[in-house]
Amino acid sequence: MTQLARKLSLWNYFSLGFGTMIGTGWVILMDDWLGRGGPLGAMLGFLLGGVLLLPIGYVYGQWVRRLPDAAGEAAYTAQVFPPFVSYLTGWMMLLAYFIVCPWEAVALGKLAAYIFPRLDTWELYRVAGEPVFLPRLLVGLALTLFLAYLNYRGIRASALFQTWATSSVLAVFLLLVVVSARGGSPVNVHPLFGHAPLVSVVLTLQIVPYFVTGFESVPKLAEEAHPGFPPGNFFKAIAMALLVGVGFYVLAVGAVSYIAPWEGLTGKRFATAIAFEQGTHSVWLVRLILGICLVALFQVFNGNFVASTRLLYAYGRRGTISRAFAKVHVVNLTPAVAIVAVATATVAGLLLGDSLLVPVTEVGALASALGWFAACISFFWVERRVGLRMIAATGMVVSGFLVLMKFVPAIPGHFSRAEWIALGLWLAIGLALRRRDGVADHRVSSGANAS
């Protein structure tokens, strides 16, 4: 079987993890974040989520050293669980990555329509009361085809694009933080919480898994590291992506709520751009925010697209779905069939329009948390050293709590009927595609010898 290309460096892996995490949410959904927690509640929610996820990131760093397999969670859980559990775990994690692709394709049309209002014409139909416009569909379709072609041509082209986008987003974001610090006022931040303090933090914490999903995408490309890549650098990339990503979100909430009164931003589209326009009266700054939002959209779309295709490729290689998905282009050394499949499914999701945006956040958060929980519990069972088992146990508790927040009706923000239906449909698709004659997984030894 043709192997994937091996060309990725530490910075490429960081750009992948960070880029898969940071997209347009900090601009498009800032009003939702502030409505959930208020400035301090949202900042504490993201900060607490990031700190709590560090043990999970460490577990992934250990796993990828021992088992550098594109199947990720499916390969890890296969060490201790039956094949059916392994399959569903990977399938849920595929949902966490893939679901971002149509989300970003829709978001591009939404962003373009904000800049060019005439795109909100030629209504084709409505989904859940939300109109779907032909020009916005075409914009999302164009981006999907562009990224599919970019990834089809080779991982190096995709990695270079990701690195350029990540560097640009970080540079402009730091400029915005400086502008807010110099032109804002502490008065704008009050009241500090959107609800009672604990409720504000919990409501924000519920969406953290969705918006920080990406640090664990690094293992999905572990087989594509350049020859001589130090195994310990995988965890470095994971930790860097997680810490920088969480810091990004915390500072974003703080900068927006400091530059303009945050209560006037709730319910407003593109609240981040509106806040800086109100606080600075600068048209060029608003254009810069929208421009870098566009770049961020490209990077998060690309990062999740890459992770999705590698998981689908790994499933095909394992034989748990059709082996056609494991086909690698003989020249470009990319998973060609998996790329076409993800692009096609993205276009199908794009047809749902704006109704996709908010519910996707909730379903994606659950899918991520389930994948993290499975990776941690699997590591707990294969590891024999007490210290590492304690770290894995901490990760199990954290991810388990994040899962329960969506399942328990008594907790604010639990799953609605529409979200349960969406989750059920995804599982049904996975069961329909599953084959039972897949190859057996190889096992890794436990304890010190495995590291």
Q: For the segment 238-247, what is each residue's pLDDT rounded down to a tens digit?
A: 999 999 999 9
Task: Please state the pTM of the whole predicted model.
Answer: 0.85
- Tell me the two tokens of residue 247: 């810091």
The residues, any chain, with a CB within 8 Å of residue 160's CB and separated by 6 or more, are none
pLDDT at 346: 92
Mean pLDDT of the chain: 87
Separation CA 35–CA 32 (nearest Å): 5
What's the whole-number mean pLDDT along residues 43-54? 91
CA distances from 54 to 107, 262, 330, 392, 394 (A): 29, 30, 38, 11, 10
pLDDT of 364 over the 60 cut? yes
Confidence of residue 450 (pLDDT cuts 50, 70, 90): very low
pLDDT of 362 over the 50 cut? yes
Separation CA 185–CA 279 (nearest Å): 9
pLDDT of 441 over the 60 cut? no
Q: For the segment 122-158, what is each residue's pLDDT rounded down to a tens digit?
A: 888 888 778 888 999 999 999 999 999 999 988 888 8
What's the whole-number mean pLDDT along residues 226-237? 91
What's the whole-number mean pLDDT along residues 208-228? 86
Residue in 303, 271, 255 with CA at minimum distance from that of residue 263: 271
Residue 66 is which amino acid? R
Residue in 267, 286, 284, 291 with CA at minimum distance from that of residue 276: 286
Q: DSSP letters along 275-301, please?
A: HHHHHH--HHHHHHHHHHHHHHHHHHH
What percentage of the chain's residues is helix, strand, coil (to nearest 5)?
75, 0, 20
What's the whole-number mean pLDDT along residues 301-330? 90
The residues, any chain, with a CB within 8 Å of residue 53's CB and separated by 6 or more, are 208, 212, 215, 242, 246, 372, 398
- Tell me the two tokens of residue 392: 């894995």
What's the whole-number mean pLDDT along residues 180-205? 91
pLDDT at 27: 87
Separation CA 413–CA 184 (nearest Å): 32
pLDDT of 84 over the 80 cut? yes
pLDDT of 296 over the 80 cut? yes
- Identify the top-confidence range among 5-9, 40-44, 208-212, 331-335: 40-44
Q: Are 263 and 271 in contact (CB under 8 A)?
A: no
What's the whole-number mean pLDDT along residues 263-281? 88
pLDDT of 444 over the 80 cut? no
Neighbours of 79 (CB within 10 A): 19
